[in-house]
Structure 1
């Protein structure tokens, strides 16, 4: 018996190959590029949200500082202590009229284009005690000073992107 010839594997010629791997690789590259673009857009949106949160938080903290400084100044004025000349609040700035029509929202809306801090202080203890329409009588003790303090501040004095107004009641 004669030995059988060894079979050689048959390869297709280069012209007969269809290139399926090339198409799959290109599709995978396109999908990876789309995922990368989507990831960049998400990161950009998160950066904008963080920046807005930071600006709003800074504006709130600045406004809180304006209100706290006004509280300290109002307390100094009530105790007849000297007030610093650079303070936002002076004794003459405190309104003592109950029915002056002050609306914190209107006051805040008037400051929409401002960047410098501002404060509005009203002494309202006489509006609360003894002058009620219910004829509750006169108080036994002198009223403790009560102030309505409205403060305005922005996140940055030069290029403001956020502004906050805080309206609070402060009792000594």
Structure 2
């Protein structure tokens, strides 16, 4: 019995297949890393936009609530009505006011902006709003408040990138 020996090929006969496979795997892993970075970057931009829209909406809500408090202060003569005066409140019904058009005319630099209209005389079917009897008592005051706000941040000199418009009806 003769011992069997394996024969090894000299380095000149090897073709380097492992090197090619390793390089291809390295290229694939690099591509996966690049795609992963692009996805993460896109998600960061989306979350930033989502935050900006939410900040603009919350600023609009704050402007509406501040205006409601100012209207109550004007009505009750309790003092501080902020920057809102009785002359700022419009009282015309048929003036062609469209909240959407009004909001589209506003700019991010001017936000927040509020438009207030007293509309109880414009409303049909007063009974559903419990507006009182026509001759016995004054009808309940109803206001339409339209606010336009942005995510502008004066502290950081941020001019804003997103805006929100809110149109509400406020019954005093």
Would you say the 8 A contact 1:88–1:119 is kept in 2?
A: no
Would you say the 8 A contact 1:83–1:90 is kept in 2?
A: no
1:7 Cα offset (Å): 3.1
The unaligned stretches of length 5 or more in structure 1 are 132-137
Q: 2:14 aligns with which of 14, 17, 22?
A: 17
Q: Which residue of 1 aligns with 2:163?
A: 163
Is the aligned partner of 1:145 residue 2:172? no
Q: Which has the larger radius of gyration?
A: 1
1:15-94, aligned counterparts within 5 Å?
15-84=12-81, 87-94=82-89
Is the aligned partner of 1:118 residue 2:116? no
Counterparts of 1:10 and 1:144, CA distance in 2: 105
Q: Which residue of 2 aligns with 1:128?
A: 123
Deviates more, 1:105-114 or 1:69-78: 105-114
Would you say the 8 A contact 1:115–1:156 is kept in 2?
A: no
SS of alignment partner, residue 9 of structure 2: coil
Deviates more, 1:96-105 or 1:62-71: 96-105
1:47 Cα offset (Å): 0.2
Name the CA shift for 1:72/1:153 in 2 (closer, same or farther; >3 Å). same
**Which protein has the bigger helix share?**
2
- For the aligned residue pairs, the C-alpha RMSD in angstroms reads 1.9
The unaligned stretches of length 5 or more in structure 2 are 127-132
